[in-house]
C-alpha cells in the first residue's frame, strides 16, 4: 500500500518498491518466449493480430527466443547479472504473444520446463482475457500457491470502437469476466492500457484508467506509450492521418493525470515502454526512457500531487 509522504523518492507505488516490500531484495523480471501464438493471429478469433503489434509480439528484447526455455532463462539472467551481479532471485516472465492460448497440458509442460530453475520466486504471465478457460485458471491457481504470481491482461482500451479499429477481437465485458475469474482464485491481475491509440483524446485516455480501476478488482496496472513500429498494420493509420503521435509534454501531463486517479493500493508496473531503435517510427523522444520518467517525477512534484490524490472522488 502506497502512502505519500514528503521526501519520498517516488510519488507513486512503483513495481520495484512493491518487490522490495515483498522480498526485501532486488528481484529480476526475466522475459522469455514460451512459444505461444495469439488467437487474433492464428484465426481463432481473427487474423493479422493487433495493428500495433510487432512480429515478435512484444518480445523484442528477448535474447534467444528460439532456444529451449531453460536456455533462454539462463542467457537472460547472465545478461542481467552484468548490471546487477549480486541478485539471486527472479520472476520468470512469459512475455510475448498469448501465454495461455493452448490446451492446459501444453501450457503446463512449457511452464514447468523453467519453473524449477534456481532462484525463481515468481511467475508473470502475459495473456488476453479471452484465453482463460476454467482448467487453465485452475492451473494458474496452483501456480499461485507455489509462486508469487501475476497474470498480465492486455486490455489496451475500454472503448469498443478503438478495440475494433486495432483488431483487438474481444470486448470490454470479456475483460471484466476474465478479471473476475482470476480474482475468484485470489490471483493478482495487472492490466495493460496503451496511451495514444488512434482517435483517443486525453479525456478518453483518462476514462480508460477511470473505468479500469473502478470496474475491475486489479492489483497492478501498466500504462504504455503507443510506439509506431515498422511493418505493423498501424502504419496505415499513420499515413492516412488517423493517428497523431503524442509529444513528450502531452504524455507526461497525461500520465500525471492518470496517476492522480489510480487508487494508492494499485502497483504501477510501468509508465512508458521500450522499443528497438531500428524499428521504431516514433515518438523518438520515448527512446530516452529515464528522461521521460524523470519528467513525470518533476511534474508531480511541481503540482504537489501523487498517486491516488483524487481517487476517492468518483466524479473525477
**Could you tell me if 231 and 54 are in contact, meaning their C-beta atoms sit under 8 angstroms apart?**
yes
**Could you tell me if 206 and 258 are in contact, meaning their C-beta atoms sit under 8 angstroms apart?**
yes
Name the grid cell of 219.
Answer: 492489483
Q: What is the mean pLDDT of residues 45-60?
A: 74
Query: Which pLDDT score is estimated for 56?
Result: 53
Query: Which pLDDT score is estimated for 314?
Result: 40
Query: Which pLDDT score is estimated for 60?
Result: 58
Give the pLDDT confidence of 213-231 residue by residue, as tens digits: 999 999 999 999 999 988 8
* Poorest-pLDDT segment among 20-34, 75-89, 219-233: 75-89
Tell which phi-psi region holds residue 92, choosing left (phi > 0), alpha (psi between -120 and 50) or beta.
beta
**Could you tell me if 15 and 23 are in contact, meaning their C-beta atoms sit under 8 angstroms apart?**
no
Query: Which pLDDT score is estimated for 218?
Result: 98
Of 82, 111, 91, the closest CA to residue 19 belongs to: 91
Q: Percentage of the chain surpassing pLDDT 70?
A: 95
Query: Which pLDDT score is estimated for 316?
Result: 40
274: confidence class by pLDDT, cuts 50, 70, 90: confident
| pTM score of the predicted model | 0.93
Query: Which pLDDT score is estimated for 176?
Result: 98
Burial 263-297 (b: 16+ CB within 10 A, else e): bbebbbbbbbbbbeeebbeebebbeeeeebbebbb
Pairing of strands 228-229, 267-270: unpaired
Examine residue 46 and say whether the peptide bond preceding it is cis (omega within 30 degrees of 0): no
85: confidence class by pLDDT, cuts 50, 70, 90: confident
315: confidence class by pLDDT, cuts 50, 70, 90: very low
Q: What is the mean pLDDT of residues 105-110?
A: 97
**Could you tell me if 10 and 73 are in contact, meaning their C-beta atoms sit under 8 angstroms apart?**
no
Q: What is the mean pLDDT of residues 174-191?
A: 98
Of 91, 144, 81, 143, the closest CA to residue 121 belongs to: 91
Query: Which pLDDT score is estimated for 22?
Result: 93
Q: Around Cβ 163, how many Cβ atoms within 10 Å?
A: 20
Q: What is the mean pLDDT of residues 88-103?
A: 94
- Domains of the chain and any CATH numbers: 15-303 (3.80.30.30)
**With 50 as the cut, is the pLDDT of residue 141 above it?**
yes
With a CB cutoff of 8 Å and minimum separation 6, the contacts of 270 are: 15, 222, 223, 224
As a whole number of angstroms, the distance between CA 138 and CA 140 comes to: 5
**Could you tell me if 203 and 166 are in contact, meaning their C-beta atoms sit under 8 angstroms apart?**
no
Give 186 or 230, the one with higher predicted confidence. Answer: 186
Amino acid at each position: 500500500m502506497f502512502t505519500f509522504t514528503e521526501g519520498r523518492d517516488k510519488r507513486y507505488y512503483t513495481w520495484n518498491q512493491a518487490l522490495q516490500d515483498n522480498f526485501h531484495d532486488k528481484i529480476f523480471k526475466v522475459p522469455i518466449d514460451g512459444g505461444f501464438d495469439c488467437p487474433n493471429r492464428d484465426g481463432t478469433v481473427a487474423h493479422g493480430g493487433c495493428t500495433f503489434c510487432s512480429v515478435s509480439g512484444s518480445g523484442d528484447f528477448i535474447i534467444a527466443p528460439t532456444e529451449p526455455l531453460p536456455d533462454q532463462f539462463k542467457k537472460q539472467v547472465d545478461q542481467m547479472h552484468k548490471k546487477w551481479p549480486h541478485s539471486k532471485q527472479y520472476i520468470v516472465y512469459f512475455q510475448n504473444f498469448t501465454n495461455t492460448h493452448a490446451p492446459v497440458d501444453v501450457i503446463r509442460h512449457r511452464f514447468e520446463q523453467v519453473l524449477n530453475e534456481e532462484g525463481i520466486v515468481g511467475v508473470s504471465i502475459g495473456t488476453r482475457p479471452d484465453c482463460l478457460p476454467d482448467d487453465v485458471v485452475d492451473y494458474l491457481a496452483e501456480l499461485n500457491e507455489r509462486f508469487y504470481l501475476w497474470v498480465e491482461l492486455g486490455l489496451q482500451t475500454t472503448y469498443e470502437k478503438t478495440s475494433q479499429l486495432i483488431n483487438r477481437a474481444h470486448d470490454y465485458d470479456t475483460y471484466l469476466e476474465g478479471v473476475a475469474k482470476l480474482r475468484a482464485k485470489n490471483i493478482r491481475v495487472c492490466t495493460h492500457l496503451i496511451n495514444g491509440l488512434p482517435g483517443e483524446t486525453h479525456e478518453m485516455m483518462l476514462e480508460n484508467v477511470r473505468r479500469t480501476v473502478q470496474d475491475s478488482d486489479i492489483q497492478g496496472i501498466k500504462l504504455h506509450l503507443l510506439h509506431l513500429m515498422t511493418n505493423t498494420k498501424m502504419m496505415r493509420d499513420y499515413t492516412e492521418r488517423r493517428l497523431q503521435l503524442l509529444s513528450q509534454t502531452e504524455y507526461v501531463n497525461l500520465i500525471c493525470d492518470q496517476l492522480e486517479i489510480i487508487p494508492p493500493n494499485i502497483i504501477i508496473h510501468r509508465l512508458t515502454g521500450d522499443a528497438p531503435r531500428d524499428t521504431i517510427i516514433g515518438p523518438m523522444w520515448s527512446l530516452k526512457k529515464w528522461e521521460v520518467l524523470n519528467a513525470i517525477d518533476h511534474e508531480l512534484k511541481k503540482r504537489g500531487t501523487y498517486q491516488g490524490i483524487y481517487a476517492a472522488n468518483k466524479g473525477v
